Amino acid sequence: MALRDLIDIDRIFHEPAVADFHRGREILARYPNAERIEVPSHWNIPELHGNAGSVEDWVRIKRSTLVLGVKKGLALRPNGRSAHFIAPSTSNGCAMSCAYCYVPRRKGFSNPISLFVNVEAVCAAIARHAEKQGPLPEPDQIDPEAWVYDLGENGDLSVDAMICGNVRDLVALFRGLPNAKGSFATKAVNRDLLAYDPQGRTRIRFSLMPARIARAVDVRTAPIPERIAAIDDFVRAGYEVHVNFSPVILYEGWEADWAALFDAIDGTISDAAKGQLACEIIMLTHNAGLHEVNLGWHPKAEDLLWRPDIQETKRSEGGGDNLRYRAGWKGKWLARFKALLAERMPYCRVRYAF
């Protein structure tokens, strides 16, 4: 799907204070013909959140609806996996519709983009936190020299950047933080970001999986070949570019499909991109509630995602019951995946695997 087709906003839910902020006024002015609906909280919109009837309009709502709010909590959370810390988010929800996305588990049946207009407060919180950390004591699996802050835990910043300047502001922030880097994963290719001048202080992680599986589960995202082709351009623009092999979905023939993907990456990207490349490997986590939601709008995806014959229930850190591949087998499959990667792309360091 072309990036320009992802959003066509005609309805904006917004908190009362949104127009008090420059970013809020900027976004409202960008969509002058959109219906505006004032709500007390971006989290309390019954028409969107928890409304099972809206599952039938899942994609239409994502394309046409925007929510604007003011970020209240500015705490930073330790992570230790993909990043050292999770930064306060500047968005929540997404215009894309990946069938395995965890956000609908918490937010309800429709999760269009919610943008927070007080980006200056978010930037200030990150800057204060980074200053308190001082230098990174020693290299680790996350980064050899800097504290890394994940910026896009609950959305896709490449798409957010189509709507407003929040992402540009975040990239500019990290240019001036000598001991810190920003990081976000994406399934979109927004070439506007090439002009943001990150100077090596922002890590973008392109999420990749075999193309035929992506066509079934990565709904409304950039095609896999387009994501791979963008890697060199983002490296040249000054980004640190990593890849997320995520989620790794198991099915008959998965090894051959992943080997073909590794060969496609290896045959496409430059030596400069290979020299700085690292990856994350994340095995699929699913959820019974999300399974029920998906049956209402995209049941074919569940043929791949819902595999109770090889999955088991496990309590997540957040307290929910999720389905993961069975522990005894998961380790073996993950080891096989790493061996395939080492064989086809020996230069690609595994930063994190789960």
CATH, residue 328: 3.80.30.30
- Amino acid occupying residue 295: L
Partners of residue 66 on adjacent β-strands: 12
76 contact partners, CB below 8 Å, separation of at least 6: 85, 86, 87, 88, 125, 126, 129, 149
Q: For residue 56, report the phi and psi dihedrals to the nearest 5 degrees.
A: -70, -25
Q: 16 lies in which domain range?
A: 3-353
Facing residues of 219 across strands?
97
Beta carbons within 10 angstroms of residue 157's beta carbon: 24
Are the C-beta atoms of residues 101 and 94 closer than 8 Å to each other?
yes
pLDDT tens sequence across 188-211: 999 999 999 999 999 999 999 999
Cis before residue 78, ω within 30 degrees of 0? Answer: no
pLDDT tens series, the chain, 354 aa: 666 689 999 999 999 999 999 999 999 999 999 999 999 998 888 777 655 555 567 778 889 999 999 999 999 999 999 999 999 999 998 888 888 887 655 555 568 899 999 999 999 999 999 999 999 999 999 999 999 999 999 899 999 999 999 999 999 999 999 999 999 999 999 999 999 999 999 999 999 999 999 999 998 999 999 999 999 999 999 999 999 999 999 999 999 999 999 999 999 999 999 999 999 999 998 888 788 777 777 888 889 989 999 999 987 666 567 889 998 889 999 999 999 999 999 999 999 999
Give me the phi and psi of 265, to 5 degrees please.
Answer: -65, -50
CA distance linking residue 134 with residue 130, whole number of Å? 7
112-139 as b/e, with b when 16 or more CB fall inside 10 Å?
bbbbbbbbebbbebbeebbeebeebeee
d(CA 115, CA 23): 10
* Digit-coded pLDDT (tens) for 162-176: 999 999 999 999 999
Report whether 231 contacts 268 (CB < 8 A): yes
Sign, Cα dihedral of 199, 133, 121, 242? positive
Q: Are strands 147-150 and 180-186 parallel, antiparallel or unpaired?
A: parallel
Task: Please state the separation of Cα 202 from the chain's center in Å.
Answer: 14
Please give the tally of structural domains in the chain. Answer: 1
Is the Cα torsion angle 210, 212, 215, 216 positive or negative in sign? negative
pLDDT value of residue 2: 66
Do residues 104 and 79 touch, judged by C-beta distance below 8 A? no
Helix (H) or strand (E) holding 181: strand 180-186
* pLDDT at residue number 229: 98
Rounded CA separation 280/30 (Å): 36
